[in-house]
Structure 1
Amino acid sequence: MQPDILDFTIKLLSKCIPVKVRKFKKSTLELLRTEEYSDFSSMINYYLTKCLKAYLNQCKDSVITNIITPFNTQYYTLCISEDRDEHLMIGPFLENPITGNLVYEIISKLQLSLDYAAKLKLYYQSVPSIHAAEIFEILYTINEYITGNSTPPKINNLDFSILSKNDSSYEIFTEDMNRTSMYKILDERYIVENKLLSYITKGDINRAQAHFEKYNSNIIEISNSSDSIRDVKNLLLSGNTLFRKASHMGGVPPIYLDELSRKWAKKIEQAPSFEVLDTFPSEMVRSYCLLTKKHSLSQFSSTVKSTLTFINLNLSSNLSVKRVANEIGLSPDHLTRLFKKETGMNIITYINKKRIDTSLELLKTTDLSIAEIGDLIGLNNTSYFYTLFKKETGMSPKQYRNSLSSK
């Protein structure tokens, strides 16, 4: 990954999440001494350095590693390139608060002076709290961008925590063959999601919904590990991001993706209860499938994609072949031939069809007058609007609206 891109990524993340983001190198870390420390700050760095050296001894390209330090703080690292000695680290952060009793247990296990108790308590107050799944999502996306590979990266866990195994705050990290750890769930979740996301990319509603039951069970397993509605909302927001990416891969223009994604983000944040949130995943899958099915332009060349997007976003204005061609940067004749070859219709026919399709939706879902709808779709000549509408549907706009109310 080029240094300027990595630096930009770090700068952007630093403004978006409350957790520190930085890069580091094995060559630099090897120069640091890990035999002693003189004050509280150097003590924290002393133990972190030991953890990172252990990480560097086993890191592999595209592997995400969760490091739990002796202080029970967490870090996530991504090995960008072992050969180029490039590593990205996010942390420290906490998922569960460190109480006074745990502070004294850490002091006892590390054989620290009691003078460190007050400093440790202040330190924990300064460490941000965030769900580990959010950090994983970020590094997963970065790895996908770097490698161009959407296959979920491997997850590794380096656990240096010294808290008692029977302590409740330690349960999430316990490796028990009789129960699935959070990291195993996340790994399995991404494998299952790949198939679901492929259906969204294709706009295949039936297969996506049939597959969803298996996917939804993974959501339940993770959300049941916490009583916090915040955790469930974070999980759904992550799903919203994944579904949006799947639709984008299916050829949906960003303008439509942004609108639906914002809608779901707002609904998720405003949801008052677990019961309301429970209904969202299936609805989200369906809505993104419908979006892909309706707006996918994946089968067209970049020129025709740009043409379709421009037309769709400017229906209310005065559209002509000349104006569209000027916007795209081609001659009207050249664009007309290319458009007809790929879509099977000429530009004006498509514009009129799109306008009538939009008017049908507005007649179904709004109380706007027929004249107002005509203005919104760029047909302010009511007579011409009626002519086109009847040619396409076999009835007038008024007759169509009346037929809806009689059903």
Structure 2
Amino acid sequence: MVDLQTLSFLRKLLEKRRLHTHLLRLDRPSEYLPDLGLRQMLGLQPEHQPFIRDLLKDAKHNTVYRYTDRFFCSYFLLLLPDTPEALIAGPYTTFDVTGTFLLEKAEIMKIPPHFAPRLEQFYAQLPVISEVLPLLNVFTAFGEVLWGSSDAFRVEFIDATQPPIESVPRELPEALPLLDMQLMEERYHFENQLMEMVSRGQLHRVEAFTETLTSKMFESRVADPVRNLKNYCIICNTLLRKAAERGGVHPFYLDQISSDFAQRIETVHDQTVGLQLLPEMVRAYCRLVLKHSGDSYSPQVRKAVLLIESDLTRDLTLRAVAKELALSPSYLSALFKKETGKTFTEFVTQQRMLHGKRLLETTKLQVQTIAQYCGIPDVNYFSKCFKKHFGITPRASRE
């Protein structure tokens, strides 16, 4: 008997990789489209049921199947023991299916070339899993749990990429509003998931999520793929900024990082750089939430921290900051220690030393100049504080 918790865990794990899963009943007709409507989109509705039957007619128990169809879509399939159900996971591709590839393969796949734009939209929603072994290991581990041991089942690979087939109709089918809506919903669901992760500072989820990013996931609004990717980076920068703001980050920090990424986006001249920038943006905003989310601080301490970090060269004595916040120095001191775990002076010194370290690592400015940028005019005192904080002198940190 199938353990429902184990099955649920497997499905959630696959969904993290953006893999659709479905439990298909074998004892009744089904309207489920394992190909997410691809054949219907191409006007191959009569092929829909044969496609499902082809997946299941020769399927054996105690077997994990990896099936690749003539449209280069891959699936994992297995019959669940003691139930009239089969688990189907997919589709996914093992490579980035580009418009150029579709045109080159149009004759082999018997698809008229003018179908390519709609096909590009379809493949854009599919996860690209080039390294299949980790995914296969997931299914073999599930098989061991399901059937007791690795000797109790087998794995079979079925390649149906080039069978003799009838051609796709020459005319493009009428517009399919439902399929177009599904593609749009996929894209918006992806963006909403991303915004939720960032707003909560869930860096572990973000790391796994960004591994699946490809250029095909973004809607093509212009012919130039680089311009299209830059446009999406701009959109993403805006969405991530709003997500981080929702996560409690003050606009002061958001404006800095948003402006920086806006400048970098305009320097993108190829897709590789753009695809590297996108996950970097996501991680940066997520870290910003983790670092600057004000949820754990009272409004008074949050404002004090913002004053300190916004300008380290200003008068940052306890008395000066307390006066600016209209608080008594003793009250601010006690509140600051309670909420941050550090005295007011310790926190200010820490921020100045961290800023000095960044400048030493990223610029060629003289140590005396860096000390001034950190709000410490006396370079000897700066060096003394730096060594106390990091265990080495400023000059040694550059070596």
TM-score bin, normalised by smaller chain: 0.5 to 0.7
Distance 1:400 1:268 in 2: 32
Distance 2:307 2:220 in 1: 45
Distance 1:209 1:305 in 2: 28
Name 1:327's counterpart in structure 2: 324
Name 1:338's counterpart in structure 2: 335
- TM alignment of 1:94-173, pairs within 5 A: none
Are residue 200 (structure 1) and residue 201 (structure 2) matched?
A: no
Name 1:246's counterpart in structure 2: 243
- 1:319 to partner: Cα distance: 1.5
Distance 2:284 2:346 in 1: 28
Name 1:297's counterpart in structure 2: 294
Name 2:185's counterpart in structure 1: 187
- 1:355 to partner: Cα distance: 0.6
Name 2:224's counterpart in structure 1: 228
- 1:196 to partner: Cα distance: 2.3
- 1:383 to partner: Cα distance: 2.0
Distance 2:194 2:223 in 1: 27
Name 1:265's counterpart in structure 2: 262
Distance 1:278 1:320 in 2: 45
Q: Which of 273, 288, 300 does residue 285 from structure 2 map onto?
A: 288
C-alpha RMSD of the superposition:
2.5
Distance 1:273 1:387 in 2: 46
- 1:367 to partner: Cα distance: 0.8
Distance 1:341 1:189 in 2: 44
User: Deviation digits for residues 192-246 of structure 1, max 9, x if unmatched?
Assistant: 33332233223333320201244x35x6244357523444332221111111112
2:219 counterpart letter in structure 1: S
**3-state SS, counterpart of residue 365 of structure 2:** coil
**Could you tell which deviates more after superposition, 260-269 or 308-317?**
260-269
Name the CA shift for 1:308/1:234 in 2 (closer, same or farther; >3 Å): same
Retained in 1: the 8 A contact 2:187–2:217? no
Are residue 174 (structure 1) and residue 172 (structure 2) matched?
A: no
Retained in 1: the 8 A contact 2:198–2:243? yes
Distance 1:240 1:253 in 2: 16
Are residue 237 (structure 1) and residue 234 (structure 2) matched?
A: yes
Distance 1:373 1:287 in 2: 25
Retained in 1: the 8 A contact 2:220–2:228? no
Name 2:310's counterpart in structure 1: 313
2:365 counterpart letter in structure 1: L
- 1:261 to partner: Cα distance: 1.0
**Could you tell which deviates more after superposition, 380-389 or 264-273?**
264-273
Name 2:273's counterpart in structure 1: 276
2:176 counterpart letter in structure 1: E
Retained in 2: the 8 A contact 1:223–1:232? no
Retained in 2: the 8 A contact 1:185–1:222? no
Distance 2:366 2:200 in 1: 36
Name 1:362's counterpart in structure 2: 359
Retained in 2: the 8 A contact 1:252–1:292? yes
- 1:188 to partner: Cα distance: 2.2
- 1:352 to partner: Cα distance: 0.5
Distance 1:397 1:186 in 2: 53
**3-state SS, counterpart of residue 294 of structure 2:** coil
Retained in 2: the 8 A contact 1:240–1:284? yes
Name structure 1 gaps, 5 residues minimum: 1-165, 403-407
Distance 2:177 2:211 in 1: 26
Name the CA shift for 1:277/1:400 in 2 (closer, same or farther; >3 Å): closer
1:382 counterpart letter in structure 2: V
Q: Equivalent pairs: percent with the same residue?
A: 33
Name 1:347's counterpart in structure 2: 344
Name the CA shift for 1:364/1:189 in 2 (closer, same or farther; >3 Å): same
2:309 counterpart letter in structure 1: N
Distance 1:221 1:344 in 2: 44
User: Deviation digits for residues 295-319 of structure 1, max 9, x if unmatched?
Assistant: 3333111111100000111211232
Name the CA shift for 1:345/1:275 in 2 (closer, same or farther; >3 Å): closer
Name the CA shift for 1:279/1:326 in 2 (closer, same or farther; >3 Å): same
Distance 2:297 2:345 in 1: 18
Distance 2:235 2:285 in 1: 14
Name the CA shift for 1:222/1:394 in 2 (closer, same or farther; >3 Å): closer
Retained in 2: the 8 A contact 1:250–1:296? yes
Q: Which of 208, 221, 235 does residue 210 from structure 1 map onto?
A: 208
Name the CA shift for 1:167/1:299 in 2 (closer, same or farther; >3 Å): farther
Name the CA shift for 1:314/1:176 in 2 (closer, same or farther; >3 Å): closer
Greater relative contact order, per chain length (Cα 8 Å cut-off, separation 6+): 2
Distance 1:167 1:355 in 2: 68
User: Deviation digits for residues 361-400 of structure 1, max 9, x if unmatched?
Assistant: 1111111111111000011112211221121112211222
2:244 counterpart letter in structure 1: S
Name the CA shift for 1:385/1:225 in 2 (closer, same or farther; >3 Å): closer
**3-state SS, counterpart of residue 348 of structure 1:** helix
